[in-house]
Structure 1
Amino acid sequence: MTDWDLQLVVPLWQGSGEPGIAQGSTRLAEMLSPSTVRHIVEPDFGTRDTHANNEDNSLIESHDAVETHLIAASNVLRALMPSSLLTLGGDCTMEVASVSHMALIHPDLHVVWIDAHADLNTPESSPSGQAHGMPLRTLFGEGHPDLVPSTTLSPQRCALLGTRSMDPPEQAFIAAHELPVINPEQLQNEPDLLEELLVRWLPDGAPLYVHLDLDVLDPTVWPAVAVPEPGGLGIATLVAVINKLRTRGNLVGVGITEYVPGVDHNPSTLWPVLDALGITVQGRNNNAAQEG
């Protein structure tokens, strides 16, 4: 079990356009044991007059709601200054606040982005205008100026695992910066590729943040996501990946995103993944007895 300094619950859904994601953050919180300090981000949206109305806000759908959530989350992190963090979302945009904070606390932070999507669009390149397709690029310092955090991340400190859906501008960015990408088929059939990556990319014992978008799982395994993509990981493969990461790095942060509990699914499917991450499921034995 990992004793997190803080569990941060961020029911941000406006970055995706899928309201069901908000319930996902609270459902995850209910599922897990609140063994550490827990804070739910409930921002005050104020009024239209209290928000800066930049001319290019239209480049990002629900810009103000996204910005307000990130500001509120960042304020909590700044006040509590956790050195280890479990973030429960919410759409992927929330990771801008969490990863930025952990990069401030741990300057040599490495980030593994376990996600079906690269999340490397900019407001100008995004085909949808939805912020949840932009957080990693924003963390690299290339996003809407309202959303780019004060502490950014170097692309050399990031690797993408399970990624299988990328827009052409994202592919171009990956090629230009030589970002490591290992797709689901490679993770399943060529496990040595991950071992080789970790040896050359992740220093032994380096602080590690794992971003887990649940759409990295195949929809036949875990359909309860906002943007399902075929050809994803199975539970056993994802657990094996996490175990390898934890053997090499020092896990200081995890973000779990894009859970839509309104879609028919079995929550206990996720338990082995949470176990691998060192996250305790509350009342697990009772739940198992009821489902059995």
Structure 2
Amino acid sequence: MTEIRIIGAPSDLGQGRRGVDMGPSAIRYAGILEKLTRLGCEVKDLGNIDVPMLEMHTVKNEKLKYLDEVIRVSEALYSSVKKVVEDGHVPIILGGDHSISIGSVAGVASKHRNVGVIWFDAHGDMNTEESTPSGNIHGMPLAVALGYGHKDLLDIGGFTPKVKPENVVLVGARSVDSDEVRLIRESGIKVYTMAEIDRAGMGRVMEEAIEFAGNGTDGIHLSLDLDALDPMFAPGVGTPVNGGVTYREGHLAMELLAASNRLVSVDVVEVNPILDNRNRTAEMAVELVESLFGKTVV
């Protein structure tokens, strides 16, 4: 029986559109605990970590907005995830904006020092203080995991880098800044753009992604940004990009990852109920997580 622990990280400190802090509540309301339990998983919800209220703080550095507060959230999430993985459970971390992955990846890597990562995202998340066009830290977490960025972000958990580039795969990319392209090439991570998914098909892409992320590693962490999906299926995200992953492609990706038996953790991020239509995006997130943990048609 898979033993799952749910951790909420209701942070909107890492991006510029309000509302994503309500993502964990929306995903819970969509029935994630009950539906995973029906699949035969043993699930406990550990509640939310404490997150500073954005209105109570000011931006000190326009290139790293709310840096001190993001560090506090990352450290708190690191500690919570670290305990879950040390206890032998699978953490599902509910965001929140994608900056929370700084803490979630650090927590997983504290035990699984050789963890592979599949980053399911429309964006590169490979900006740094020097390259960011917005100063929003949710555009930086993959760079941080790989050892690029501000020292205080890199030092979460007391070690850097958190992952090896040869075991990191970005799937679904279709909106990447020019400076991110340079860092992606320098880092050597594997990237599957939507054009490559169109040509090869999601099945082949995910089989290769699982091979890259799982080759000689302690398992795979999935970072699931809902903006990887086309806005037709996931309208409630802060930075939607047309031409994304379809409903069936998303489920196929999760099904193949489930079948690999390599998953050790997952974070689900960027669900913004304020921008959503009747909680469709949170419901989509829960459906994908169900497929990730073994739900099939028959």
TM-score norm. by structure 2 comes to 0.82
Rg larger for: 1
Measure the CA separation in 1 of the matches of 2:192 and 2:139: 19
Aligned-pair CA distance for 1:188: 4.1
Query: Aligned partners of 1:243 and 1:279: how far apart in 2?
Result: 7
State whether structure 2 residue 108 is matched by structure 1 residue 102: yes
Change in CA separation of 1:271 and 1:104 when aligned onto 2, cut-off 3 Å: closer
Identify which of 154, 178, 190 aligns with 2:164. Answer: 154
- Which of 179, 184, 198 is residue 174 of structure 1 equivalent to? 184
Mapping of residues 51-70 of structure 1, within 5 Å: 57-70=61-74
Could you tell me how far apart the structure 2 residues matched to 1:60 and 1:205 are? 32
Deviation at 1:155, TM superposition (A): 1.5
Match of 1:33 in 2: 33
Structure 2: which amino acid aligns with 1:3? E
Give, as a single letter, the amino acid of the residue that structure 2 aligns with 1:61.
K
Paired residues in the alignment total 273
How many angstroms apart in 2 are the aligned matches of 1:237 and 1:82? 33
Q: Provide closer, same or farther for how the CA distance between residues 44 and 168 of structure 1 changes in structure 2, counting only shifts above 3 A.
A: closer
Alignment of structure 1 residues 1-292 onto 2, 5 Å: 2-4=2-4, 6-31=5-30, 32-33=32-33, 35-43=43-51, 57-80=61-84, 81-83=86-88, 84-148=90-154, 149=156, 150-151=158-159, 152-191=162-201, 192-199=204-211, 202-203=214-215, 206-265=218-277, 266=280, 267-278=282-293
Please, what TM-score do these two structures have when normalized by structure 1?
0.84
Identity %: 27
Paired AA for residue 176 in structure 1: E
- Report the Cα distance in structure 2 between the residues aligned to 1:193 and 1:79, rounded to whole angstroms: 33
CA distance in 2, matches of 1:64, 1:92: 16
- Change beyond 3 A, Cα 1:2–1:18: farther
TM-fit CA distance, 1:142: 1.4
In structure 2, C-alpha distance between the alignment counterparts of 1:271 and 1:10, rounded to whole Å: 16
Q: 1:101 to 1:237 in 2, by over 3 A?
A: same
Deviation at 1:216, TM superposition (A): 0.4
Q: Which runs of 5+ in 2 are unaligned?
A: 35-42
Moved over 4 A (4+): none
Unaligned runs of 5+ in 1: 281-292
